[in-house]
A = this chain, B = another copy of it.
């Protein structure tokens, strides 16, 4: 894709700018240039240049105490995201019901984005020990039940690229292919501690009217509660949720 030196440099700057923005989250609501430099390992001059550009475009903001915070220009993106990804009430209810029927695990919907999966909706579990992910954050496709379900809808080439992204050596690709094949055959997947130690998940595909996999719906929680017995008990509710969410046809349309 980079089309020579100029294209490569431009793309790299865009990626770096987004990486800088990604360093702001609920626990890091403000940052200094020094912190951004330390966190990225980029030269200070590069960070200053990107921060200035992001500031001029409203994505960062210098607060009165001199620290950088998310800028008001992000509000425009928030509106876009809301318009494009807001779940219809029936789908929200579906996630709530799935969480409730699992005894209070967190339920969520993931979509594939390149070699990543992104959580686009979540109903937080009611258990004191619950698993919460960040909405819109990229997670690897090669790890976790919902990743395997999403890969079941991918080409062999995409599966290869997802396996390569894991950087776990050549055996990993066949192991991953086996997991994905099983997910495709049984229409669900389960995973234990693949992305995060102690966290388990089950997931099932959401499909479009042509049967293509457009998203995954799943439950996540501590591995201690995802015993074989409990997972088997989760499956009927998971399957019902996947069928209902497929019927609602709210993902991937674009008007």
- Partner-B contacts on A (CB < 8 A): 1-3, 6-7, 9-18, 21-22, 24-26, 29-30, 45-46, 48-50, 52-59, 61, 63-65, 67-85, 111, 113-116, 118, 120, 134-138, 208, 212, 214, 252-255
Contacts and interface: CB of A to CB of B under 8 A. Distances in A.
B25 A80 contact: yes
A137 B115 CA distance: 31
Interface hub of A11, A73, A83, A85 (most chain B Cβ within 10 A): A73
Contacts of A59: 18
B64 A30 contact: no
A114 B56 contact: yes
Contact of A84 (B29, B114, B214): B29
Q: How many copies does the complex hold?
A: 2
Given A83-B26, A253-B63, A72 B118 contact: yes
Interface hub of A1, A55, A254 (most chain B Cβ within 10 A): A254
Contacts of A82: 78
Nearest to A214: B64
Contact of A136 (B16, B79, B134): B79
Listed from nearest, the 5 A-B pairs whose CB atoms lie closest are A63-B254, A10-B13, A75-B136, A76-B136, A74-B81
Interface hub of A65, A72, A81, A120 (most chain B Cβ within 10 A): A72
Contacts of A83: 26, 29, 70
Contacts of A14: 13-14, 17, 50, 53-54, 57
Given A13-B11, A57-B18, A116-B58, A84 B73 contact: no
Contact of A74 (B3, B70, B84): B84
Contacts of A69: 84, 254
